Amino acid sequence: MNQKRVFLAINLPEELKEKIYSTFSEKLPEKELKKVEKENLHVTLLFIGYVPENYVKELKEKLQSLSSAERFDASLKGIGCFGNRVLWLGVDKNAERIVELNKRACELLGIRDERFNPHVTLARNKRMPYVKFAKLADKLKEIKFEEIFPVESVDIMESILLRAGPVYKKLAELKLT
């Protein structure tokens, strides 16, 4: 039985991905960090994990009621990090509405996700020492970046892990009202 590595995402408009990438990419040292490719920038709503290929349709049906949520605008602002591992751009305006979507998805799927924090991952630490990583995060915090984006759907995504890095593919879309 074929398995798919699946997660729920709020995908960002192309022009916003472009702006994030052009603002931060060159400031992230490639030898020590694994940058997220421009086309892979998104807000993860919920990581589900490996599921049988034929489960995707059922997954969409289970999550269908998320579509009753209203569309809204959110904003990206503020750099943060998860320990010494992940460097991210935070969701500022309407973060609580994204948290609510996460909670509803968890309830519908019977998954626990207590540490959810809406963000866009910019890079993962491969080998940068902690002090240098913290200094880089502080330096990036000086950049004034705030962009509003529309939250119009929750997408069921597949993450295909390749040697060069993951490739994300949209499997289904749940449009918000």
Cβ(46)–Cβ(8) below 8 Å: yes
Instruction: Looking at 25-129, list the stretches that DSSP marks H as alpha helix, in order from N- to C-terminal side.
Output: 56-63, 95-109
Dihedral of the CA atoms 42, 47, 51, 53 (nearest 10)?
Answer: -10
Bridge partner list, 172: 156
| Catalytic position from the list 6, 42, 46, 156 | 42
Which residue of the set 4, 17, 104, 119 is catalytic?
A: 119
SS3 40: helix
42 annotated active-site: yes
Residue 3 CB neighbours (<10 A)? 11
Instruction: Please report the sign of the dihedral spanned by the C-alpha atoms of residue 7, residue 137, residue 132, residue 18.
Output: positive
| Positions marked catalytic | 42, 119
